Amino acid sequence: MRRRRSRVEGAARALPEAVAALSRCLPAGPSPEIFRRAKFDRPEAAPVLWQLLLRVLSPLAANNTWTDLAPEAQACLVKSALGSQGYPRSVLLQFPDGSSQGSRELLLALSWLLARGPLLEQLLAQTRVQLGDQLPQWEAPTSPGPPAPFVEPKSPVDLRLVEWLMGRLRFRWRCLISSQQEQCILLSKIHLYTQGCHSQRSLGHLSVAETEMLRDPESGQQLLQALESENIRLEAALEWRRRELVFWQWMDTVLDTCSPETPAVTSQPTVLPAISEGGLGELESVKQELQALQEELREVSEPRRAAWEARVGGLGQGPEWSNSRKALQEAVQQELAALQGSWERSSTPGQPQRPHRLVRSKDGAPRPQGLQAAEVIRTLSAKEACLKKVLHQLQRQCQQELARLAGALPGLIWILPPEH
Amino acid sequence: MSIVTVQLGQCGNQIGFEVFDALFRDSHCSQGLCSKRDNEAYQASCRERFFREEENGVPVARAVLVDMEPKVINQTLSKAAQSGRWNYGQHTSFCQKQGSGNNWAYGYSVHGPKHEESIMNLIQTEVEKCDSLSGFFIIMSMAGGTGSGLGAFVTQKLQDQYSSSLKMNQIIWPYGTGEVIVQNYNSILTLSHLYRSSDALLIHENDAVHKICAKRMNIKQISFRDLNRVLAHQLGSVFQPTYSEDSSFHYRRNPLDSETVGQACLMPRIFVWSLSATNLSFYPQTGDLMEHLVPHPEFKMLGVRNIPQMSAASLAYSTFTWAGLLKHLRQMLISSAKMEEGINWQVRPPLSGLPPIGKASAHKEHHFNTSLANLVVLRGREVHSADVEGFKDPALYTSWLEPVDAFSVWKTQRAFDKYEKSAALVSNSQLLVKPLDMIVGKAWNMFSSKAFIHQYTKFGMEEEDFLDSFALLEQVVASYGSLGP
């Protein structure tokens, strides 16, 4: 009897501890009491949960300006973000913005996000304390983030104002590029000047954070505090992983308390990819088709290649051809890389890259781990070529569309902007 | 953030020298009227922007000098070396033995491609010596051959090679009754080419500067040197460091203090300053100027006004108030006045819905100057008390841009060039429409009778190029005209 009671008591304690661990590792995590109130759909839990969802869903929520938004705007953003992630329950959308209803639905949304993907790991990665130097963000964000709240313009907007604003954006962009170049030059200087200062032989020089720590003890203290709080969150995350089963069992009960007439079929289709039933059979036929095409290509290309060789004959040899040959080879390699890149991109959608620390080392020194800068440059050039192709294609489409429109209205003279 | 200056032609080189001299003299001026710390930061900002350090301690201007004749460049270099305070770099000049004969096409189509590599290499070397490149400042005239034609060519090449850097061209508008017969052709060709490849065209009219010298500075025999000095004064009052409106008036403690550098740290002094100079929120970047004034691709022409302007002798006996200065500056803007004398006080901003007082059709002189965007730079004592509300009046601006977007103000306590208070205005407005229209008209008259065209076509230009230029400039005139009510 006593063992069962202590087991029951242990079980009773497990849930609050699990929820506490969860809230410790979430950014601005609410107290476990909020979670309990949310199960019973209490109004005081709603605003807290709206804010939490906003922080969790928006990658830009690191700066506090988002939390200064009015509750209506916050609710709007959260709803649209959930929709773009494919959240199936439409009950949440029915609550008016800014009301304090629906805390239970918010709780369900949060646990859906937690269950669906590596949410905690992503959040923790976003707020990592960096000791080494990073390159500026060179992975395009895979999800565009919640769309900005739609503001109805008071009157028709003058086109010139739009052009003015576009111009300002372009200037800011150029300033950003200059600042990044400046950052690279200065980083390079720091690395050069602090060679031999680092205790780890493999790294060899200090990073900016480490240099700042040596220069200014206050910032060292701040760094220490940041690391300590990150440790707390990481430990909380580990604890959560051990205890989360209890939480999911409890969430099942929350789902059960929802009214049974909530529709299972949603108005918005989910965006999760579905593998069709006849998938395998289709793959086979596609493979056969591909092989047939390859055969055909080979048959067509061989005689043409032979004819070309016959015509060209001895040309193409000799020193004056070597430069042009090299240039041609490079161009072909770039094209191939671009083609490869466009194939590979569709297969690996946005795996989070492990952040790399920038280290400067002498040429030829053996580097057992990490990426070489040359490799990274190659990857980036390939991506650039690929994106340029896409841009040109889109521009051609635009031009064709403009030409079609110009043709459709005879009697109207179109003056297109000068080519750049 | 550093600016690389390219001085082109006789005009560009002479003005360039005066600009660097004015900037240097001001930054080392002892009558700054501000604290020692502020003064040091001001000096350091100016130096980082326009000069670089050499081993012997004499600052070197970040400049490239280009001319097709050696005379002016040699004069400029020797003047700088003589002063002993600052100098041009050792191998930063490029010249040839033969000029361009005031022929734009010769400068653009012959000199340009022939010397492209040497000139771009010189610029590249200078750029590499910058920690961070803010942009290029290209000084040239419009009427001659080298400055205008070669200048247009060089700007285009800079656009190709440094597409993410900012470019501002300082253009000297020739005298209306200038000596060069084909100056109007050269002018329209220059303007149209620069409109395509530059970000901002900062225009100074020789006529206006001449009047300032005559009436305000009381100079009897006006030489080019006097004109250039007035010009340099105007430019310096815009380019020297300031605080921007919303940044705080505090700045980081001076990291050059040797006690703060830890013993474990082996960094040399110069590097520490570079790191913190970029963190200084002391002065706004050139990008801010561009972003606030010329983001629209059709409106790139900027005019500069600076008050007060007077001879050093009169300066000692004059005092000014911000209210008075700003009132005059505002009226100068509205009435398109070139200086603070002879301002037409009849011109008033239009009341909303009503046509402007003194309709444009009857009295051309009473035409109200509608602005697109304005920047006011205030330097001197008690600058916080200066009230710029008059410039935020929506009636001054075009209908589709709010004053909050169109108007910006920069301030600093630090006085400029011994003027206790000075106010400068950089304006993107209809100030230059009339002169532009006049030049286009004169050039068109010449063109329609095919006068002197063969001088241009024999160097590879075609009549098509002229027609394109006319079309572009007519478009610019029309765009600026449409700003008004």
- Separation of alpha carbons A293 and B422, rounded Å: 77
What is the predicted pLDDT for the residue at B168?
94
What is the predicted pLDDT for the residue at A266?
44
| Residue A193 touches partner B, C-beta closer than 8 Å | yes
- Helix/strand/coil (H, E, C) string of A87-110? CCCCHHHHCCCCCCCCHHHHHHHH
What's the pLDDT band for B277 if we cut at 50, 70, 90?
Answer: very low
Element (H, E) at B201: strand B200-205
CB pairs under 8 A between A and B: 81
From the list B266, B268, B287, which residue is nearest A197 (CB)? B266
**Would you call the peptide bond into B308 cis, given omega within 30 degrees of 0 as the criterion?**
yes
Chain B positions touching A193 (Cβ under 8 A) are 266-268, 271
Other CB atoms within 10 Å distance of the CB of residue B373 = 24
What is the predicted pLDDT for the residue at B351?
73
> Are A211 and B1 a contacting pair at CB < 8 A?
no
Q: Tell me, what DSSP letter sits at residue B428?
A: E
Query: Choosing among A182, A185, A207, which should be mutated to test the B contact, i.e. which has the most B CBs within 10 A?
Result: A182
From the list B165, B266, B268, which residue is nearest A178 (CB)? B165
Sheet containing B87-88: give its strands across.
Answer: B51-52, B60-61, B87-88
Amino acid found at A164: W
Closest residue, chain B, to A215 (C-alpha) = B262
> Are B400 and A161 a contacting pair at CB < 8 A?
yes
**Range of B112-121, B310-319, B410-419 with top mean pLDDT:** B112-121
What is the predicted pLDDT for the residue at B353?
56
| Residue A164 touches partner B, C-beta closer than 8 Å | yes
B5 strand-pairing partners:
B63, B137
Separation in Å, CA of B243 to nearest CA in chain A: 18
From the list B133, B260, B261, which residue is nearest A178 (CB)? B133
Predicted-complex ipTM score: 0.84
| Torsion angles phi and psi, residue B374, rounded to 5 | -135, 150
What's the pLDDT band for A354 if we cut at 50, 70, 90?
Answer: low
> Are A193 and B271 a contacting pair at CB < 8 A?
yes
Chain B positions touching A168 (Cβ under 8 A) are 291, 295
Is residue A184 a contact partner of residue B278, using CB atoms and an 8 Å limit?
no
pLDDT tens for each residue of A378-388: 888 888 888 89
Closest residue, chain A, to B285 (C-alpha) = A175
| Residue A373 touches partner B, C-beta closer than 8 Å | no
Question: Which sign does the torsion angle of CA B38, B40, B44, B46 carry?
Answer: positive
From the list A171, A179, A194, which residue is nearest B291 (CB)? A171
From the list B1, B264, B296, which residue is nearest A163 (CB)? B296
What is the predicted pLDDT for the residue at A318?
66
What is the predicted pLDDT for the residue at B255?
26
**Range of A115-124, A171-180, A356-365 with top mean pLDDT:** A171-180
What is the predicted pLDDT for the residue at A33?
83
- Separation of alpha carbons A84 and A299, rounded Å: 47
Chain A positions touching B266 (Cβ under 8 A) are 193-194, 197
**Range of A88-92, A127-131, A196-200, B426-430 with top mean pLDDT:** B426-430
What's the pLDDT band for A148 if we cut at 50, 70, 90?
Answer: low
Chain B positions touching A211 (Cβ under 8 A) are 265, 267
> Are A171 and B296 a contacting pair at CB < 8 A?
no
Distances (CA, A) of A170 to A178, A224, B53, B302: 13, 39, 32, 19
- Separation of alpha carbons B57 and B79, rounded Å: 18
Is residue B439 a contact partner of residue B187, using CB atoms and an 8 Å limit?
yes
- Separation of alpha carbons B291 and B285, rounded Å: 10
> Are B132 and A182 a contacting pair at CB < 8 A?
yes
Chain B interface residues facing chain A, Cβ-Cβ under 8 Å? 1, 131-134, 164-166, 196, 260-262, 264-268, 271, 274-275, 278, 285, 287, 290-291, 294-298, 399-401, 405
Dihedral of CA atoms B448, B451, B453, B456 in degrees, nearest 10, equals -130
Element (H, E) at B135: strand B133-141
Average pLDDT over residues B121-149: 90
- In B137-220, which ranges are continuous DSSP H helix? 151-161, 183-197, 206-211
Count how many residues are written for chain B: 485
What is the predicted pLDDT for the residue at A149?
53
Which tokens go with A144?
A: 């565009």
| Residue A181 touches partner B, C-beta closer than 8 Å | yes
What is the predicted pLDDT for the residue at B197?
93
Dihedral of CA atoms B391, B394, B398, B402 in degrees, nearest 10, equals 100
What is the predicted pLDDT for the residue at A89?
77
Share of chain B above pLDDT 70, in %: 87
- Separation of alpha carbons A114 and A18, rounded Å: 14
Amino acid found at A261: E
Q: Does residue A410 have a pLDDT over 50?
A: yes
What one-character-per-residue DSSP string does B87-98 give? EE-TT-EEE-SS
pLDDT tens for each residue of A50-65: 888 887 777 654 455 5
Separation in Å, CA of A164 to nearest CA in chain B: 5
**Greater model confidence, B222 or A337:** B222
Q: What is the average pLDDT value for chain B, to the nearest integer?
A: 84
Q: Does residue A142 have a pLDDT over 60?
A: no
Average pLDDT over residues B369-388: 91
| Residue A216 touches partner B, C-beta closer than 8 Å | yes
Chain B positions touching A163 (Cβ under 8 A) are 296-298
First and final C-alpha spacing in chain B: 39
Closest residue, chain B, to A182 (C-alpha) = B132
Is residue B267 a contact partner of residue A182, using CB atoms and an 8 Å limit?
no
What is the predicted pLDDT for the residue at A420?
42
> Are A168 and B291 a contacting pair at CB < 8 A?
yes
Q: Tell me, what DSSP letter sits at residue B166?
A: E
Give the residue carrying structure tokens 């009436």.
Answer: B215
Separation in Å, CA of A209 to nearest CA in chain B: 13
- In B60-111, which ranges are continuous DSSP H helix? 70-83, 104-105
Other CB atoms within 10 Å distance of the CB of residue B238 = 19
- Separation of alpha carbons B124 and A237, rounded Å: 53
- Separation of alpha carbons A13 and A381, rounded Å: 56
> Are B271 and A190 a contacting pair at CB < 8 A?
yes
Q: Does residue B278 have a pLDDT over 50?
A: no
Q: Does residue B355 have a pLDDT over 60?
A: no
**Greater model confidence, A50 or B87:** B87
Question: Which sign does the torsion angle of CA B180, B184, B185, B186 carry?
Answer: positive
Separation in Å, CA of B27 to nearest CA in chain A: 25
From the list A160, A174, A194, which residue is nearest B400 (CB)? A160
> Are A193 and B268 a contacting pair at CB < 8 A?
yes
Is residue A28 a contact partner of residue A84, using CB atoms and an 8 Å limit?
no
What's the pLDDT band for B460 if we cut at 50, 70, 90?
Answer: confident
Give the residue carrying structure tokens 């506490």.
Answer: A20
Question: Which segment of A197-211, B58-72, B136-150, B199-213 scores lowest on mean pLDDT?
Answer: A197-211
Give the residue carrying structure tokens 């830890």.
Answer: B262
Dihedral of CA atoms A403, A409, A415, A420 in degrees, nearest 10, equals -20
Is residue B331 a contact partner of residue B337, using CB atoms and an 8 Å limit?
yes
- Separation of alpha carbons B93 and B383, rounded Å: 40
| Residue A401 touches partner B, C-beta closer than 8 Å | no
Other CB atoms within 10 Å distance of the CB of residue A88 = 15
